[in-house]
Amino acid sequence: MSCKESKQYQWLDFNGEKCSSCGLCINYCPRDVLRKGDDDVPFMKYRDDCWYCDICSFVCPNKAITLKEVPYLIK
């Protein structure tokens, strides 16, 4: 799956205008799910391994990440 295809199926929304590409979200992810895309904005490379813990949005200094939905199996 390419980077562009992977972005279509992620549970997180990354606001590229707010993102400073600092990498904190990538470094703090306990499941190592995130990667930087070609545009330096993170995306969920391994979305099936995500715990929906929301740490990435908590550590983001620019509030560029939001958890847009939690899959139905978790609700």
pLDDT at 11: 80
pLDDT at 2: 46
User: What's the whole-model pTM score?
Assistant: 0.79
Domain assignment of residue 36, given as a range? 3-67
CATH code of residue 63? 3.30.70.20
Number of separate domains in the chain:
1
The strand pairing partners of 42, in sequence order, are 36
Residue 37, domain member (yes or no): yes
Residue 23, domain member (yes or no): yes
Residue 72, domain member (yes or no): no
Residue labelled with tokens 């908590």: 58
Residue 55, domain member (yes or no): yes
- One digit per residue, the tens of pLDDT, for the chain of length 75 reads 445 545 565 788 899 999 999 999 999 999 999 999 988 999 989 888 988 889 999 999 999 999 887 766 555
pLDDT at 4: 53
